[in-house]
Amino acid sequence: MKWAFALALTLLPAPAFAQLITGKAQAIDGDTLRMDGFRIRLHGVDAPEAEQTCLRDGGDWACGQASKAALAALVDGKQVECEQKSRDNFGRPVALCRAGGIDMADEQARLGMVVALPDFSLAYVDSEALARTNRLGIWGSQFQMPADYRAAHPEKYSRAAPPQRAIRNAAPARPAVFYRNCNEARAAGAAPLYRGQPGYRPEMDGDNDGIACEPYRGRR
């Protein structure tokens, strides 16, 4: 009977997550596509919301629109193939999507237009780290993590909420990680801190070079 049970397991239908969706796609924001009647989230990354702004060079920068434009350029005129991995909290497919053989989530991470989500996938952590080092995209600005931005605007991002007007010029929030000074950051092993990284504050960046709590330099 054991072999019969094992055989029965092999005959069970495959999970719905294996669905493959192909066709032309349209970017809704930096990590979401509209494709063949589906609204598809890119697996393993999170982008600024379309109306979200970041602070760059002392002024507001439409980072959400910049991320959307980067994704739109990736899918423009190309056949897109999305392999569903799961569903999000709203029941939308979450998928690994490629256009012209390019993993779009990885390309968005490489351009600095999304943050990697290591709790869901480690595939894009290295590309994000490279963009952060080179201060590309959102990593060259001060920004609120997309998840924190959505949490701060439940009237727009709650499923049951009525439609709201787009909220523009959102003020950057205090980072979730907060150090009162560089001594605290060094004691925590977090220094140096780069602009856009959790814990970074302009008040700790004395020379305004985007790097706070740099190592001490002795006199020559």
Shared-domain flag, residues 141 and 93: yes
Strand partners, 54: 61
190 and 87 both lie in a single domain: no
pLDDT of residue 18: 57
In a domain, 182, yes or no: yes
Q: Do 121 and 189 sit in the same domain of this protein?
A: no
Q: Is residue 168 part of a domain?
A: no
Residue 151 lies in a domain: yes
Instruction: Select from 109, 125, 158 the last residue of a domain.
Output: 158
Residue 90: count other Cβ atoms within 10 Å of its Cβ: 9
Residue 89 lies in a domain: yes
Mean pLDDT of 60-76: 96
- Of 59-68, 79-88, 106-115, 171-180, least confident by mean pLDDT is 171-180
Residue 73 has pLDDT above 80, yes or no: yes
Residue 6 inside a domain? The answer is no
Per-residue pLDDT, averaged over 118-140, amounts to 95
Provide the H-helix boundaries in 58-103.
Answer: 63-75
pLDDT given at position 16: 44
Mean of pLDDT values over 84-92: 86
Q: Residue 70 pLDDT more than 90? A: yes
Among the candidates 129, 158, 187, a domain finishes at 158
Going by C-beta distance under 8 Å and a sequence separation of 6 or more, which residues neighbour residue 31?
41, 42, 45, 46, 47, 67, 71, 105, 108, 114
Q: Which residue has the higher pLDDT, 70 or 199?
A: 70
CATH code assigned at 153:
2.40.50.90
Quote the number of domains for the chain. 2
Do 66 and 150 reside in the same domain of the chain? yes
| Whole-angstrom distance, CA of residue 2 vs CA of residue 176 | 52
Least confident of 45-59, 103-117, 165-179: 165-179
Tell me if 143 sits within 8 A of 55, measured CB to CB.
yes
Count of Cβ atoms closer than 10 Å to residue 176 Cβ: 11
Q: CA-to-CA distance for 154 and 167, rounded, in angstroms?
A: 12
Q: Does residue 23 sit in the same domain as residue 123?
A: yes
Do 104 and 208 have their domain in common?
Answer: no
How many distinct helices (H) and strands (E) make up the chain? 7, 13
pTM above 0.85, yes or no: no
Is residue 4 situated within a structural domain?
no
pLDDT band at 220 (very low <50, low <70, confident <90, very high): very low
Q: How far apart are CA 211 and CA 194, in angstroms?
A: 5
Examine the domain organization and report whether 95 and 201 are in the same domain. Answer: no
> Is the same domain home to 190 and 143?
no
Query: What is the domain extent for residue 100?
Result: 16-158
Q: Is residue 218 scored above 90 in pLDDT? A: no
Q: Is 169 contained in some domain? A: no
Same-domain check for residues 197 and 125: no
Average pLDDT, the chain: 80
Whether residues 122 and 38 share a domain: the answer is yes
Asked if residue 208 and residue 124 are part of one domain, the reply reads no
36 compared with 131, residue with greater pLDDT: 131
Q: Give the pLDDT confidence of 142-192 residue by residue, as tens digits.
A: 999 999 999 998 888 765 333 333 323 333 343 446 677 888 777 777 788
* 134 and 199 co-located in one domain: no
**What pLDDT, on the 0 to 100 scale, is given for residue 145?**
94
